[in-house]
Structure 1
Amino acid sequence: MRCLQYGIMLLETLTRRNPNEFEGDLSLKQWVSYSLPEAVMDVVDANLLTSTGNRLQKELDVVASIMKVALDCCAKSPARRTNMKDVVMMLQKIKIQLLAC
């Protein structure tokens, strides 16, 4: 799977939104990008969040990190997109952070 497709799939999964839902100049990528990192709660699918309090903030930080990886995969220029080997390594690091919570 190419990085661009993977990034879009991650964004769709984490937001539960379809890229075709947006009109005009706004896209799924832009909507998420404008919301990170401060307003991640506004774009993430609430069904993915299971914690409260301090743990909730840690979950939101992890989701924001994954969304950042997804956005890196969605760069307009193919040369600026993260390669899939690096994506896997970044996601493994995020997984370790999540398990440490």
Structure 2
Amino acid sequence: MNYPALELLTQGYLTLDWPDDYPNAWAAVDDYVASEPIAGQLPDEVAQVVATIDSEEGLRALIIGELGCGYLPDSDGFTMTTWLLAVGERVRRGRGRRSHR
């Protein structure tokens, strides 16, 4: 599996020490959108991941285990699936606002 935009988000912005840099995970996502041209690919990658991996355990293994994400969605009441979809939508909206400036 190759998900470069998702990998950059998890390994560059939502690492284990993300709370040292951001007040919350959404601030990290917003910084990612503002800073990374590749962010526009993320919604499609999220859709592909969610369509391909149909279990929470499998998604956790990919996002936390393989990609090294330091954010745990359940700490904010999300499942891995609902969080990934919410991130994809936030990135999509953020990229749309950015392109209209």
Q: TM class by shorter-chain length?
A: 0.3 to 0.5
Taking structure 1 as the reference length, the TM-score comes to 0.34
Which is higher, the Rg of structure 1 or of structure 2? 1
Taking structure 2 as the reference length, the TM-score comes to 0.34
